[in-house]
Structures are given as C-alpha cells and as structure tokens.
Amino acid sequence: MSTPNVTIYDTTLRDGTQGTGISFSVLDKIRVAEKLDAFGVHYIEGGFPGSNPKDAEFFKEVKKRTWKQARITAFGATRRGKMKVEDDPQVRILLEAETPAVTIVGKTWPLQVVEVLGVTCEENLAMIADTVAYLKKHGREVLYDAEHFFDSYRDDPAYSLATLKAAHEAGASLVVLCDTNGGSLPEFIAQATREVIAAVGPGVGIHTHNDSGLGVANALIAIREGAVQVQGTINGYGERVGNCDLISVIANLQLKMGLNVARDLTLLRELSLFVDELANVPHNIRAPFVGTAAFTHKGGQHVHAVQKLASSYEHVDPLLVGNERNITISDMSGQSNVIVKAEKLGFKLSKGAPEVASILTEVKRLESEGYEFEAAEGSFELLLRKQLGQHRPLFELQEYHCSYRRSGEGRWNKCEATVKLHVNGTPEYTVAEGDGPVNALDGALRKALRPFFPKIDEIQLDDYKVRIINGQHGTAARTRVLIDSTDGQESWGTVGVSDNIIEASWLALVDSFEFRLGRS
C-alpha cells in the first residue's frame, strides 16, 4: 500500500541536538530552519520553548519571519498528573510560543505510566486527551507523539491503542508511532502500523531511531503500510546512535517510492553539507546519496563498466540528489580510471596509448610505497604533467635543514628552517622560524620563491594530516603526509611519503606550490 501525500517533519533542532557533540546557537537554528523551509520540509520542530533560554529565544525570532511552507512547531508534553491542563505552566508556554502547530509527547507504555509518571493508566489517558483538546481549542494543530509505542504495543496492545484513540478523539491531526529505543525490526513496524491504521484511522506518522541500524528502513516500511508522516533529523543526528536520517528517507521516498516530498531534490546534498557545517560536524563521506564516496568508483573494472553503463554500479543518477560521480586513482586502478580522471583534470588520453600505461605503472609503484592519490588530486595532476613531459620544476633544490631548540627549563622553544635552492639559475638561501618544523619550512620556501612567483602569497595551507603506514615497524615506520591547500578559489590536496616525517611534509608542501604555481 502506498500513500500519495506524505509530510516530512524535521526535529533536527530538538531531537537532533540531543546527540553527542551537536549544538546550535540561536542564529544557527534560525539559519537551519530557513534552509529546511526553502527545501520544502513541511514541519520544523524548533525545540521545547520552556526548557532553556536558547529555545525560548528561537521561538521569539521565528515570529518575525515569514515561512514559505513549513509549519514551525513547538514541542512539549502532556499536562502533569493530577493537575488541570489550564494550570500547567509548560502547557501555557507552548501556547505562548504562538506556533501554528504543537507536538506533545505522552506515555504509551503502562510500565512507564506507573513507574515513571507515577499515575494510573486511566489518569494518563485523561492527561493525553485534556492536553490535545486544550491546545486544539486554542487554534493549534496538534500532533501526538506516542513515546515507546512499539515496546508498549508488544507488551500491551490494547492499552497502547487506547492512548492513541484518546489523542485522536480529542482532536490530534496525527498520532505518531515512536520507536524510541530503536530496537524494532521492520516486520513488526509494518504489522503494528497496519493494525493501528485499522483501529484509529489514516492519520498516523512514524518516528524511528537508529539503534539497530534500521531507522530509515523502519520509517519506509511504515510509509508503505500507510503512515502519512516521517519524523527524523538531517544526517541522522540524535541521542545515542541517532534518529532516522531524513536525507536518506527523502531520497528513497521520491526516487524509489514515487512520492513527491521535496521541491528540488538536487539540493539534497547541499542541505546535508549545510547542516553539518553549522553543527561543526565532519561530513560523513559514506553517507548514502549525498556522501562524497556515494558515487565514487575505485576498482578498474567498475570504472570501465560505469563508462559504458552508469547504472551498472550506480543505483541512481548522482545529479538527481546534487552529487557527482568521482573516479579515484589507486593501486586498484585500470586504464579507465586514468583516462577518466585525466580528462576531468583537462588531459585528453586514449586507451592503449603508451603514456596511459606509464602513468598507471607509476601510480601503482608509488602506491606500493605508501602514496595515496584519492585525496591528493594536486599530486596526481603533477604526476600526469611529469609523465606527459609537461612539468617544469619551480626550482632546483640544493638542501634544506630544520632544527628545534628548547631551553632546559622550558621557558622558550624555537623551530628554524633553512632552504638552499636555485630558481631560474639564481641561488637563494633563506631562513625562517615557525611554530613547528613544517611551518618553518613553509616560511623559508615562500621567502625563496616569492621574488619569482608573487602569487605564492595567495596559497594558504588549510589542513595537515599525518598517518603512519606500517606501524609495526615502530619508529622506523613510513609516514604519509597529506596537505590541503587553497587559493581562495580552488582547494587541492597533495601527498608526500617517506621514512622521515620532515621529508614527507616537504614533498607534500613542494607539490602544493608546484601544483598551483605551475598552472600560472
């Protein structure tokens, strides 16, 4: 059974922020909400207005803005036990938020009703009904989140359904089935969703967690059984291992199940990256649909097949979700990898040409020594230039030297580097100090090259990564250094490998300058 109208309910700004390491400022929350609204998300849950000053400020700010589609939603709970709903301060705060929609969470499991809330099962039903009816009377759309629904339904299906009926009959537009512990399997989600719809009616949503790695699968099976709303978070943020990932849900609903839930699906990757950036979280390169590796091909046979028939190793066209195909170079590469990658970098090569074979041989030789070109396109382009006879070194190195001195009492320390080289036949001998040996080498090399290549000042080192390749050799292990650089317009990676970390760093540093300045 498929459903023609499915709404997307985002709780990144509330449930998502319960994840370890996830935090947003008020401005961040506003920017995320605006991005979600522009994308076409139907409901944006901003938080619990009574829980902290940040959420309270968010709800004040959203009143000042016009929203294209999204219904900004406040989150709260049912009234307290043995208290009139109009006297409950947290219910009052929900109204004061003045959002068009309110989501309230209630207990579904008799075990929690008695042990956690400390009220009778009958009082809990009244708490649900009273709160929904009160908010509805004040003009709010009310969604009811049935906490721990699936655990409760296994234990006591009759009472679990009674809580949903209490919310539904009091005026809730949706009753949302929550797999709060994230432990249910798809077949049980399907069965329970089907039985709830038969008992309560079609206004059912699904809210899943990913503790068993099934958050997305459980959400999709519920939709297949007739649920009309999916609640989740962007990139799967959330408590413990996270919530259902709306990025994957949206892509699957639209591309695999034929349900139109996004205005422009090509903005999906951009949305995912945007939220990661504001949350200060490294993007998951292996994220389905939107990760950098989602459409990356490394094996030579795969690349050859993709060139002929993309669908042979791609389940959807990457452009549909704003992503792109990426061909990497490694010791697993074949001629197809080299040709496709070279073409992307502006080099036209023909299959079977001797230069293709020589490039491939050199790649495999370097990879056997510890090089890796997947994240070092700058170094790979330099390799192409060298093999094709199109490379002219910036300088002829005579020697370089690094030293580190520290006072015995630790009152001072100093790193110094000297570089001797010839540039266009002109000898250069420069010295620089730095925070560390690589920083000092960078400074000395820039001094030497600046008179000849003034554009070197446009190049900035963004990141520096070190990896020990064969740690079993202890202090004699080989070291791989990856440097990320930018000139403000373009970013590139370069790599160096050596038994000595200083030399590995020097090789990656020189590649970074030669890549950019060799193009000028």
219-232 pLDDT, tens digit each: 999 999 999 999 99
Q: Which residue has the higher pLDDT, 127 or 310?
A: 127
Q: For residue 10, is pLDDT > 80?
A: yes
Please state, in angstroms and rounded to a whole number, the distance separating the CA atoms of residues 119 and 126: 11
As given in the structure block, the two tokens for residue 372 are 């890796």
Q: What was the pLDDT predicted at 311?
A: 59
Residue range 410-427: mean pLDDT, rounded = 90
Q: For residue 387, which amino acid is it?
A: Q
Q: Does 355 fall in a domain?
A: no
Please state, in angstroms and rounded to a whole number, the distance separating the CA atoms of residues 449 and 125: 77
Q: For residue 501, is pLDDT > 80?
A: yes
- CB neighbour list of residue 391: distance below 8 Å, 6 or more residues apart: 382, 385, 514, 518
Q: Does 34 fall in a domain?
A: yes
- CB neighbour list of residue 442: distance below 8 Å, 6 or more residues apart: 432, 434, 461, 509
CB 508 within 8 A of CB 481: yes
Among candidate residues 213, 243, 263, the one where a domain is terminated: 263
Residue range 143-164: mean pLDDT, rounded = 96
Among candidate residues 406, 436, 452, the one where a domain is terminated: 452
- Which stretch, 31-35, 80-84, 208-212, has highest mean pLDDT? 208-212
**Three-state SS string across 159-219, please?**
HHHHHHHHHHHCCCCEEEEEECCCCCCHHHHHHHHHHHHHHHCCCEEEEEECCCCCHHHHH
β-sheet with 426-434: strand ranges across: 396-406, 413-423, 426-434
Residue range 154-178: mean pLDDT, rounded = 97
What's 427's domain CATH number? 3.30.160
Helix residue ranges, H only, 201-345: 215-224, 246-255, 268-279, 300-308, 335-344
Residue range 89-110: mean pLDDT, rounded = 95
CA distances (Å), origin 199, targets 6, 92, 161, 168: 20, 32, 8, 11
Number of structural domains found in the chain: 2
230-263 pLDDT, tens digit each: 999 999 999 999 999 999 999 999 999 999 998 8
**Residue 414: CB atoms within 10 Å:** 12
Cα-flanking dihedrals φ and ψ of residue 4, to 5°?
A: -70, -30
My answer on whether 259 and 401 are in the same domain is: no
Q: Which residues of 497-513 are buried (b: 16+ CB within 10 A; e: fewer)?
A: bbeebbebbbbbbbbbb
Q: Which domain holds residue 399?
A: 395-452
Q: For residue 94, which amino acid is it?
A: L
CB 322 within 8 A of CB 290: yes
What's 177's domain CATH number? 3.20.20.70
Percentage of the chain exceeding pLDDT 90: 59
388-397 pLDDT, tens digit each: 888 889 999 9
- Catalytic center residues: 302
Q: What was the pLDDT predicted at 145?
A: 97
Q: Does 289 fall in a domain?
A: no
Please state, in angstroms and rounded to a whole number, the distance separating the CA atoms of residues 73 and 294: 33
**Average pLDDT value for the chain:** 88
Q: Does 466 fall in a domain?
A: no
Q: What was the pLDDT predicted at 3?
A: 44
HSE of 214, CA atoms in CB hemisphere, 13 A: 16
371-389 pLDDT, tens digit each: 877 678 888 888 888 888 8
Q: Does 15 fall in a domain?
A: yes
Q: What was the pLDDT predicted at 308?
A: 57
Residue range 16-44: mean pLDDT, rounded = 92
My answer on whether 200 and 51 are in the same domain is: yes
Q: For residue 44, is pLDDT > 50?
A: yes
Q: What was the pLDDT predicted at 313?
A: 59
Q: What was the pLDDT predicted at 476?
A: 52
Q: What was the pLDDT predicted at 369?
A: 84
Q: What was the pLDDT predicted at 303?
A: 52
Q: Does 489 fall in a domain?
A: no
Helix residue ranges, H only, 6-72: 26-39, 53-62
Q: Does 344 fall in a domain?
A: no
CB 148 within 8 A of CB 117: no
Percentage of the chain exceeding pLDDT 70: 91
Q: What was the pLDDT predicted at 2?
A: 43
Report which secondary-structure segment, H or E, holds 460: strand 460-468
Q: For residue 1, is pLDDT > 50?
A: no
Residue range 13-17: mean pLDDT, rounded = 93
Among candidate residues 247, 263, 279, the one where a domain is terminated: 263
CB 487 within 8 A of CB 434: no
Residue range 29-40: mean pLDDT, rounded = 93
Q: Does 383 fall in a domain?
A: no
